[in-house]
Amino acid sequence: MDRLSALLGLPYTDTVVVAGALVLGISAGVLGSFAVLRGRSLVGDAIAHSTLPGVCVAFLVTGTKEVAGLLAGAAVAGLVAALLMIAVERSVLRADTAIGVVLSGFFSLGIVLLTHITATGDAQQAGLEAFLFGQAAGLLERDVAVMGAIGLAGLVGVAVLRRALAATLFDRAHAAALGLSTRLVEAAVTAFLVAAVVIGVRLVGAILMVAMLAVPTVVARQLADRFGRVLILAGAVGAVVGVTGALLATRAQLPTGPVIVLVGVVVALLAVLLAPDRGVLARRARRARRAREIALGRALGDPAAASAGARRRLVRAGFLTEDGTLTPAGAAAQEDRAERVALAMAWLHYGPQIRLRDAREPDLRDVRRSLEPDALTELKHLAGLS
Amino acid sequence: MDVVEIAGLTVRYREAPALWEVDATFPSGALSAIVGPNGAGKSTLLKAALGLVPADAGTVRIAGAEGRAALANLAYVPQAEAVDWDFPITVDEVVAMGRYRATGWFRRVGRADRAIAADCLERVGMGAFAHRQIGRLSGGQRQRVFLARALAQQAEVLVMDEPFAGIDARTQADLLDLLRGLADEGGSIVVVHHDLAQVRSVFDWALLLNVRALGCGPVAETLTEDRVRAAYGAGLPEGTPVWTG
């Protein structure tokens, strides 16, 4: 840690915080991904909130704020809450209701216990509030070691179980037919969530922890289509978010947990908007481009009936003169379009009769270029086009 | 020889029986269909055979094995309803899942297994899509991938639940050709199918089901007009040719 401190040029205490944020980011990113991909981020939120009474009870029992003991309490409470949610959901309520009830119940209990501990004026109690909103101050090197050990155990679990988990999350019925126990997988996803929450709750706090579970996977999913890559990216994004947030917070003297979470939310927002393929802007652009193509094609088909805007675009493309006659290029484009439309119609009609070499279907916008040559010849023959 | 033997299979959802003392056999090396009206228990039969829904009574033997051991002998293509199409997984990864039972859940998928998976993908005409995310395929292409995943299992019996529902005509024809070819090479295939005319023209064997088994045997003997009318009752759509052969 001293060497790391020298490397980063940070004071020792800040280095501990950055190391903690790194461990937290990687672990929460990877371990939280399964719940997020399953659409169960809120279970993570409920588990995080539920750790509070566990921390308080652990403090009351041990009388110290040794982090390992408090985290053990957090883990037990988180597990109990998770089991309770599953039980409640199985018996009477819907999942979202079960989550809401368990979350608020446990959290209220935690607040009551916390207030009680504060009221008794135990000198040692200063610091338990850290588990609400997270706190960098007072984080020790051995706390980070505990976090790292839990994280490492979780990552090993992921490495061992990832294939079974992916199979079940993707296609439950098929995974069951392969002999996988759905319950086992559910238990593993829950255990990973508890581990991630326990790692993060000291630094980020019970209330904000869900962001660290969700953000990395949201970003990773925007950028990757393979499960393994999503896992690795989620870990990397979590690490970057954690470290950046921790550095910013220590520089600016701001609360660490909220700053880390804010950094994460900004990164997630950017990924949702700007991701090259799945991003909102990329999708918008694709749709707009398609709409333009279609509009231009229609205008070219019948320039006289086209709107003023569409005609202007035809003029700009060099297909139409200002006085509304087709240029030679325009005439060629018009003919080309007519041929493409005819081929598309022909494919819709005769396509099913034509054998293809594999499952690749032609793009109806341009059958000529996307259909294999033999099939194209056959199609033209069937449709009487030459 | 019978590769699937079902005896006295009874399944109840709440009180109503979904399957009632069903006896049925499916021969090896044949293309077999399970037909019957909506609500006849066709999917339930498959799920009970797989142990995905609990049976109240009865036994299912698959290639001589019962219970969980039987799972090793079959490859299942489920209805696509429970699939998360946005899941980050590519076509080749999906097909590789077919090898998980052989490789185990923890070891790496080796080169031989990857070759088997790639070969199965080619057989369904999807080689060009190996790196595509599964959700970016058409319905027919997805069904091809699921068949490839099942083929990759190299199991004794291939079991498919309504594989042609909502699928384009070309995929239907291609997959049916493929299944017919597999059966001709000695493969055993059981398909839940709703198209009686197609069952009559392409399949070898049929189980006619409406909660009870109303017939099980070679298609021509099983799907007689009387039996089909009895199975479908008023549920047979007006003008459906009951017997076209």
In this prediction the ipTM stands at: 0.87
Give the pLDDT confidence of B67-77 residue by residue, as tens digits.
888 888 999 99
Q: Position of tokens 């954690």?
A: A242
Higher pLDDT, B134 or A64: B134
Residue A158 has pLDDT above 90, yes or no: yes
B128 contact A CB<8A: yes
Check CB contact under 8 Å for B171 and A230. Answer: no
Give the pLDDT confidence of A67-83 residue by residue, as tens digits.
889 999 999 999 999 99
Give the pLDDT confidence of A201-215 residue by residue, as tens digits.
999 999 999 999 999
Which residues in chain B are closer than 8 Å to A229, comparing Cβ atoms? 88
Alpha carbons B131 and B147: distance in angstroms, whole number = 17
Higher pLDDT, B32 or A87: B32
Q: Position of tokens 């219970």?
A: B67
Residue B81 has pLDDT above 80, yes or no: no
Which residues in chain B are closer than 8 Å to A171, comparing Cβ atoms? 78, 82-84, 97
Q: Which of B60, B71, B93 to mutate to test the interface with A (most CBs of A within 10 A)?
A: B93
Q: Do B121 and B19 share a structural domain?
A: no
Residues β-bridged to residue A296? none
What is the average pLDDT across B136-165?
Answer: 93
E strands within chain A? Answer: none
Alpha carbons B44 and B22: distance in angstroms, whole number = 12
Instruction: Supply the angle between the helices A141-170 and A182-200 in degrees, to the nearest 10.
Output: 150
Q: Where are the domains of chain A?
A: 2-276, 281-383
Check CB contact under 8 Å for A37 and B74. Answer: no
CA triplet B115, A372, B89: central angle to 5 degrees?
Answer: 40
Q: How confident is the model at residue B237 (pLDDT cuts 50, 70, 90)?
A: low
Question: Which token pair is B33?
Answer: 């269909």
Q: Do B222 and B126 share a structural domain?
A: no
Longest dimension (CA), chain B: 55
Q: Which run of H or E residues covers position A258?
A: helix A256-274
Q: Do B95 and B50 share a structural domain?
A: no
B58 contact A CB<8A: no
Q: How confident is the model at residue B244 (pLDDT cuts 50, 70, 90)?
A: very low
pLDDT over 70 for what percent of chain B? 95
Give the pLDDT confidence of A228-278 residue by residue, as tens digits.
999 999 999 999 999 999 999 988 999 999 999 999 999 999 999 999 999
Q: Do B163 and B225 share a structural domain?
A: yes
Q: Do B175 and B65 share a structural domain?
A: yes
Q: Do B144 and B28 share a structural domain?
A: no
Give the pLDDT confidence of B42-62 residue by residue, as tens digits.
999 999 988 888 899 999 999
Q: Do B166 and B55 share a structural domain?
A: yes
Q: What is the model's pLDDT at position A128?
A: 86
Q: Position of tokens 């270029």?
A: A369
B138 contact A CB<8A: yes
Burial class (CB in 10 A: 0-12, 13-18, 19+), B115: exposed
Kind of pairing, strands B157-161 and B74-77?
A: parallel
B108 contact A CB<8A: no
Smallest CA-to-CA distance from A52 within A102, A87, A99 is with A102
Give the pLDDT confidence of A290-341 residue by residue, as tens digits.
998 888 888 888 888 888 888 888 999 889 898 888 899 999 999 999 999 9
What is the average pLDDT across B150-160?
Answer: 94
Alpha carbons A105 and A44: distance in angstroms, whole number = 15
Residue B96 has pLDDT above 80, yes or no: yes
The CATH number of the domain holding residue B201 is 3.40.50.300
Question: Which token pair is A93?
Answer: 């309520």
Q: What is the mean pLDDT of chain B?
A: 89
Check CB contact under 8 Å for B94 and A227. Answer: no
The number of domains in chain B is 2
Exposure on the CB side of residue A241, measured as CA atoms within 13 A: 38
What is the average pLDDT across A34-48?
Answer: 94
Q: Do B228 and B161 share a structural domain?
A: yes
According to CATH, the topology of domain A2-276 is ABC transporter involved in vitamin B12 uptake, BtuC (1.10.3470)
Q: What is the model's pLDDT at position A64?
A: 83
Q: How far is CA B146 from CA A309, B120, B137, B160, in A?
A: 47, 10, 12, 10
Exposure on the CB side of residue A42, measured as CA atoms within 13 A: 12
Q: What is the model's pLDDT at position B242?
A: 54
Q: What is the model's pLDDT at position B241?
A: 55
Higher pLDDT, A186 or A75: A75
DSSP B16-57: EEEEEEEEEEEETTSEEEEE--TTSSHHHHHHHHHTSS--SE
B88 contact A CB<8A: yes
Smallest CA-to-CA distance from B71 within B153, B192, B162 is with B153
Residue A145 has pLDDT above 80, yes or no: yes
Longest dimension (CA), chain A: 93
Ramachandran region, residue B20 (left: φ > 0; alpha: ψ -120 to 50; beta: rest): beta
Which residues in chain B are closer than 8 Å to A177, comparing Cβ atoms? 50, 52, 71, 74, 76, 78
Which residues in chain B are closer than 8 Å to A370, comparing Cβ atoms? none
Give the pLDDT confidence of B187-221 residue by residue, as tens digits.
999 999 988 999 999 999 999 999 999 999 999 99
Q: For residue A170, give how far its alpha carbon lies from the nearest alpha carbon of chain B (Å).
A: 5
DSSP B56-93: SEEEEEETTEETHHHHTTEEEE--GGGB-TTSS-BHHH
Strand order in the sheet with B2-13: B16-27, B2-13, B57-62, B65-66
**Domain range enclosing B120:** 80-154
In chain A, residues 24-53 whose CB comes closer than 8 Å to chain B: 37
Q: Do B124 and B28 share a structural domain?
A: no
Residue A178 has pLDDT above 80, yes or no: yes
For chain A, count helices (H), then strands (E).
17, 0
Ramachandran region, residue A366 (left: φ > 0; alpha: ψ -120 to 50; beta: rest): beta
Higher pLDDT, A127 or A225: A225
Q: How confident is the model at residue A6 (pLDDT cuts 50, 70, 90)?
A: confident
Beta carbons of B190 and B35 less than 8 angstroms apart: no
Residue B245 has pLDDT above 80, yes or no: no
Q: Do B141 and B167 share a structural domain?
A: no
Check CB contact under 8 Å for B97 and A360. Answer: no
Q: Do B148 and B162 share a structural domain?
A: no
